[in-house]
Structures are given as C-alpha cells and as structure tokens.
C-alpha cells in the first residue's frame, strides 16, 4: 500500500470510528495531584484520534458533539493549555476552552510532513492485531494518558544558551546532564517537564533526551538505528505510567524507560542508551563553565518553572488507570532508587540509604560500579515551584576503576576520595587533587527513578542497601 492510499484508508477508518463512537462514560483518572479528579472519558475517546492533520476539523467538531451528547460539563473533560486536567476549583475551568492552539500547530506540521509508508501504530491503529508483528507488551496496558499525539510538544528545534548567560535557574534546581566527546549540555527539568522529549545533536551524535514526570525518569538515547536517524514525538499514550514515544519515520511505539519499540513495524528494535544524570544546576554551572544549556522554547512556550505535578512524589499508590500492574512490595511504589542494568542484570540502590552512606559499591553484569549521592538538589515534583521541592540530592554512577584497578570511593563533604590513590574527585567525575588530577571517570548508564517504574521493567532486580 502506497503512502497516499494508506493515508486515505486510515482517514476512512478513523472517520468511521469517530462517527460510530458511543457516548462517553465517566472515567475517574487520578491526576498529578492526588486530590484532583476529573471526567476525561470524552476527551480520551476523541484524543486518541488526533494525529493526522486532515482530520483536524472532523475531530474538533466531534469533541463538541460528543460533549453535548454526553450531557456532561465539558469544562471538566477538557485539557487546558498546560496539558493538565483542571481541578474542579480551578478558575480556568469555568469557561469552555477552544481547541488548543499548540495542538492545532502540531496537526498542521504533521499534515505537511512526509507520511510513512508503514501503517501507524499510534492509537487506535495499534489495536488492529493483524497489522503489525507480535507486540512486546500487552496492548491492553497501553492506555490514553490525557493528551493526543504531540499534545505534549517535543522540542524539535532546540536553542541553547551559554552557562554564563543563564539567570533563570535556581542553584538547587534539577537539570539533566549529557556529556559527549568533550561537549557538555544541561537540560533543565523545568523545561523537560513540559516537553518530555528533545530531538537534539550533541557533538556529532543525534540524541533523544527524554523525561517522564510520572516515573521521574530522565533517559537519553542515540537516535541512530542502522542507517536511519530517528526523531521522536509523544504518542499521548502510557505504558505502566511510563511515557510512550513514537518515531516519526515509521510511527512505531517505544517505551521511554528502556528505549525499546514495543508495537509497530520497528517492534523489537532498541536504542542505545547514553549516560545522563540528574544533578543540581550549581554542579553543572560550576564544573562546566563553557557548557551549553537548553533554552526555553519560543515556538511552544509553557509556564516554565511551574510544576504541574505538585506533590506527585508524595503519593503512596500508583495512579489507577495509568498503572495497571501490581507494584513490587519490596519498597514503597514512590520510593526513589538508582537503577542500573546491563545485559539483563539489574541492580537498584534505594535513595534513602545512598544519601546516608554517600556512595555504594555494586556489581552489574560483572562490572564494578560506584554510585554517588550529593545533597543539594530539589525535587522537581514536590512543590508547585520546580525549584521549591524538598532536598533529595543528586546521583551519579561511574566505573569503579582507577589506573586499571578496581577501587572504592567514599564521600567527604562535597567531594569523593578513591581508595587506590587517595585522589579527590568532584561530583562530575573529574579528579581535582592528588595523583589522578585532571583525569576523568567513565560514567555508567543509570536512571534516578521511582521503585514502581524500575520494578515494572526489571522484574528480577537486585536491591543493594549500602552501609555507612
């Protein structure tokens, strides 16, 4: 099937699906704040369809029609411009909102972009079991997350500022840090929390830098796969509360947590992980004065600095409807851990114990790794202000090797000492004093996340409790 005929077939299928849809039923979905409840049945039913630009008018009209048919207050079923579900007491919810301009812009872009020849796996097409290879996950557990495809707009045209020019970040504020071939870049979580994906190039390497607020997982991938360079969007779906991405080349679905294609023509493919760490802005600023910083988007501006998931990390249970499994009871679902995995061998270090001990020595697939903790980073999910959360500290992970020998490290103040040479290392892995001065440790891929997310993707993980 050619691209054009495939597009016509898809349009007919979606139109039929829309016009045959039964009136929406009330569905209670927990929002980022545990106390907020809203009916999103209507918008969920229609939001699954918002992808192909030629259907924008049909879908916009259907939103109005379905809302009228349901007999419900449409304000409670709509997403506002910040991509959140308005609370019942939110003054912004008092008026019926127009179809979001940001989504309209996305639809226009998608309509003018080359369409893939392969059938799209973006909902609802992913429910057609005969269209694709066998999926890697239960498709029933891929659920609508409250926004249509690219309703949370990724950054495709990133701009940067120099470290010296940035005056809008708090010293304790969380940033994702990637370092490649001498190039260092910070991706502020206050930006990532609103966009979730940045299609970037650092050095000569095409990167997808991603952040899933519901899992508190900052993960970076090499966008190259064989001879292809992929770019990614947000599908609007979730798998076990984790962001589901789609690639714009084939529109296959990928889980953000492990960079694996789970539905679509790319099923089974997996992206290479690139080390990225979540640290306080001051750490990056002080140790990378020549680095660059992702700038706030001008094409899709958001209320940067505000956290739409206020008190999210104070939850005690996983979000019903978004998480459909049974959380592993070894730790509380929202307990923070540092997770490491290699060749199927998975290790998790609880934050609380790591913060007390300062460092943890672990072995992952036969590789000695030193995991570090440094106080002084605010939780971006704790307070209405991204920079105003409780101090949870930063984490990093390095090959525990100096001069070809395995060694252990201990934290002393805001620095780290290796047992082999007695050299002093800063938090970003550079020796600042002693025999190894000027040398750098090799970072290890890790993720700072919630236990429920890690345990979902790594069923046989080993818990390591460091001791002081």
CATH of residue 377's domain is 2.102.10
Model confidence at 188: pLDDT above 90 = yes
pLDDT, one tens digit per residue, over 228-276 is 999 999 999 999 999 999 999 999 999 999 999 999 999 999 999 999 9
Instruction: Indicate the number of domains in the chain.
Output: 2
- pLDDT value at residue 112: 62
Q: How confident is the model at residue 327 (pLDDT cuts 50, 70, 90)?
A: confident
18 vs 334, more confident = 334
76 vs 10, more confident = 10
Nearest partner of 240 among 145, 308, 338, 345, judged by Cα:
145
- pLDDT value at residue 20: 34
pLDDT, one tens digit per residue, over 403-442 is 989 999 999 999 999 999 999 999 999 999 999 999 999 9
* 403: helix, strand or coil: coil
Domain range for 78: 3-115
| Residue 141 within any structural domain of the chain | no
Q: How confident is the model at residue 321 (pLDDT cuts 50, 70, 90)?
A: confident
| Residue 452 within any structural domain of the chain | yes
Taking residues 172-176, report their average pLDDT.
Answer: 98
Percent of the chain scored above 90 by pLDDT?
A: 64
- pLDDT value at residue 446: 97
Of 65, 90, 115, the position where a domain reaches its end is 115
| Residue 387 within any structural domain of the chain | yes
| Residue 177 within any structural domain of the chain | no
Residue/partner pairs of 360-365 with CB below 8 Å, 24 or more apart: 360/464, 360/466, 361/400, 361/408, 361/466, 362/464, 364/340, 364/444
Of 115, 150, 166, the position where a domain reaches its end is 115
Model confidence at 296: pLDDT above 70 = yes
Average pLDDT, the chain: 79
| Residue 153 within any structural domain of the chain | no
- pLDDT value at residue 127: 60
Model confidence at 2: pLDDT above 70 = no
Q: Kindly list the distances between the CA atom of residue 442 and the CA atoms of 119, 209, 445, in Å, as whole numbers in the listed order.
A: 41, 20, 10
* 349: helix, strand or coil: strand
- pLDDT value at residue 133: 80
**Cβ(225)–Cβ(271) below 8 Å:** yes
| Residue 234 within any structural domain of the chain | no
- pLDDT value at residue 109: 55
List helix spans (H) across 86-174: 101-112
| Residue 354 within any structural domain of the chain | yes
- pLDDT value at residue 394: 96
Model confidence at 465: pLDDT above 70 = yes
| Residue 312 within any structural domain of the chain | no
CA pair distance 86, 89, nearest whole angstrom: 8
pLDDT, one tens digit per residue, over 116-164 is 667 888 877 666 667 778 889 988 889 988 889 999 999 999 999 999 9
Of 96, 115, 134, the position where a domain reaches its end is 115
- pLDDT value at residue 324: 83
- pLDDT value at residue 120: 87
The model scores a pTM over 0.85: no
CA pair distance 146, 86, nearest whole angstrom: 12
Model confidence at 311: pLDDT above 70 = yes
The Cα diameter of the chain in Å comes to 74
pLDDT, one tens digit per residue, over 439-462 is 999 999 999 999 999 999 999 999
């Amino acid at each position: 099937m050619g691209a054009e005929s495939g597009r016509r077939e898809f349009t007919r299928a979606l139109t039929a699906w829309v016009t045959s849809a039964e009136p929406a039923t009330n569905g209670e979905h927990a929002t980022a704040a545990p106390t907020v409840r809203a009916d999103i049945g209507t918008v969920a039913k229609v939001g699954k369809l918002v992808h192909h630009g030629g259907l924008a008018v049909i879908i916009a009209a259907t939103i109005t029609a379905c809302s009228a048919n349901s007999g419900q207050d449409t304000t409670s079923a709509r997403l506002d411009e910040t991509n959140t579900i308005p609370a019942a007491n939110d003054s912004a919810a008092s008026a019926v909102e127009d179809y979001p301009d940001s989504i309209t812009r996305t639809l226009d872009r998608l309509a003018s972009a080359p369409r893939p020849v392969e059938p799209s796996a973006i909902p609802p097409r992913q429910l057609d079991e005969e269209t694709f290879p066998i999926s890697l996950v239960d498709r029933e557990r891929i659920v609508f997350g409250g926004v249509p495809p690219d309703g949370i707009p990724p950054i495709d045209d990133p701009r940067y500022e120099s470290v010296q020019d940035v005056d809008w970040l708090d010293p304790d504020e969380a940033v994702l840090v990637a370092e490649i071939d001498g190039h260092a870049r910070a991706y502020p979580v206050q930006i990532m929390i609103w966009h979730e994906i940045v299609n970037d190039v650092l050095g000569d390497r095409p990167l997808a830098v991603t952040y899933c607020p519901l899992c508190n997982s900052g993960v970076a991938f090499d966008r190259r796969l064989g001879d292809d360079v992929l770019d990614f969007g947000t599908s609007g779906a979730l798998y076990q509360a984790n962001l589901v991405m789609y690639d714009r080349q084939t529109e296959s679905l990928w889980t953000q947590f492990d960079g694996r294609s789970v539905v679509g023509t790319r099923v089974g493919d997996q992206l290479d992980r690139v080390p990225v760490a979540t640290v306080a802005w001051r750490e990056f600023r002080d140790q990378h004065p020549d680095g660059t910083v992702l700038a706030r988007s001008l094409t899709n501006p958001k209320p940067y600095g505000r956290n739409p998931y206020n008190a999210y990390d104070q939850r005690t249970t996983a979000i019903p409807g978004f998480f459909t499994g049974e959380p592993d009871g070894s730790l509380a679902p929202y307990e923070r851990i540092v997770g490491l995995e290699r060749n199927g061998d998975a290790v998790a270090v609880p934050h609380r114990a790591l913060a007390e001990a300062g460092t943890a020595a672990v072995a992952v697939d036969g590789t000695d790794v030193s995991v570090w903790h440094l106080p002084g980073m605010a939780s971006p999910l704790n307070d209405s202000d991204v920079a105003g959360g409780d101090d949870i500290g930063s984490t990093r992970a390095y090959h525990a090797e100096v001069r070809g020998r395995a060694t252990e490290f201990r934290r002393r103040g805001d620095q780290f000492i290796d047992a082999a040479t007695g050299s002093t290392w800063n938090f970003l892995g550079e020796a600042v004093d002693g025999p190894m001065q000027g040398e750098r440790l090799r970072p290890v891929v890790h993720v700072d996340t919630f236990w429920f997310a890690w345990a979902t993707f790594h069923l046989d993980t080993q818990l390591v409790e460091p001791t002081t």
